[in-house]
Amino acid sequence: MKNYTTLADIEDLESLIREARGLKSKNTESELGKGKTLGMLFFNPSLRTRLSTEKAAKLLGMDVMVMNADKDGWALEFEDGAVMNSDKAEHIKEAAAVLSQYCDIIAVRAFPGLKDREKDESEQVMNSFKKYASVPVVNLESATGHPLQALTDAITIQEINKKERPKVVLTWAPHPKALPQSVPNSFTEMMQNLDVEFMITNPRGYDLNANIRKNVRVEHDQEQAFRDADFVYVKNWSSYDEYGKVLDVERDWTVDQEKLQQTDNAKVMHCLPVRRNMVIADDVLDSESSIVIQQANNRTFAAQAVLKRILECLK
């Protein structure tokens, strides 16, 4: 694997999931990454991505450098040919090239602005790092995708699933703030690559990008969608059509135990962080239905498998 910026970078998904699950079961350290450095740049906050990816790199013997690029770094200019007379002190051309002198892999988190759909969809930050870095680039959640999370989700479903073709439902849930579509986008893409019956449920006005949904069924009645589900993946996202807007905080979409009665004893997933009693009720998060902690634990093994594949290409 040369980069991991989108799910399209995965050559063989089954083999990558197998690798991650094998790393989890062996729970061993390796020297593959000895003498190599992972540099992680965060333009936005993180708990899981930051710590699980650092842990994964260290399990592979790598050194890790982390920078809160939004607070500690120079403000970066991404426009080609810009006259740099604003507050942006450094161009991505130098920044990515210099980072490539210190790091063997660069990992970047950069959320969307949620104001300009075309700009967000251009993935300017991630693609600029890819263009100007001379080392592999890993996506720690970008404007439109969160491929490490989606790989984690696939691993988690596979390790828990007991059915030949489980029913997986991605449900929108309320949230007071405008959130990116990155996690639901990548989850939707990932589910189309697994042998599952996949369905999305969301209020009208919240349909995800049709180019990502493709032929996935969208059901606007949450109760109907939950019927016989084996996995319920809960996530809020802002509107795609009325780009970046919170149309209505529909509190009756909060996932609670009563709603889960429709399912086939479904396991409930969420990428975290989750707002309790807004997105998912306490009676779910504090019950056996919730697998969010197991899911978060798997972030380490997803990252470890991806970094291992990239390191194997660097040899």
- The contact set with ligand CP (CB under 6 A) reads 46-49, 141, 149, 271-273
| Closest approach of ligand CP to the CB of residue 148, in Å | 8
| Closest approach of ligand CP to the CB of residue 24, in Å | 18
**Long-range pairs for 8-13: beta carbons < 8 A, 24 or more residues apart:** 9/147, 10/151, 13/154, 13/193, 13/194
Q: Provide CB contacts within 8 A for 230, sequence distance 6+.
A: 161, 163, 166, 167, 168, 263, 264, 265, 266, 267
Nearer to ligand CP, 151 or 263 (CB): 151
| Closest approach of ligand CP to the CB of residue 70, in Å | 14
| Closest approach of ligand CP to the CB of residue 195, in Å | 25
Place of tokens 């660069």: 106
For residues 115 and 244, is the Cβ–Cβ distance under 8 A?
yes
Nearer to ligand CP, 36 or 48 (CB): 48
Residue number of the CB atom closest to ligand CP = 49
Nearer to ligand CP, 147 or 166 (CB): 147
Nearer to ligand CP, 49 or 300 (CB): 49
| Closest approach of ligand CP to the CB of residue 300, in Å | 12
Nearer to ligand CP, 9 or 141 (CB): 141
Tokens of 31: 């020297």
3-class secondary structure, 280: strand
Peptide bond into 273 cis (omega under 30): yes
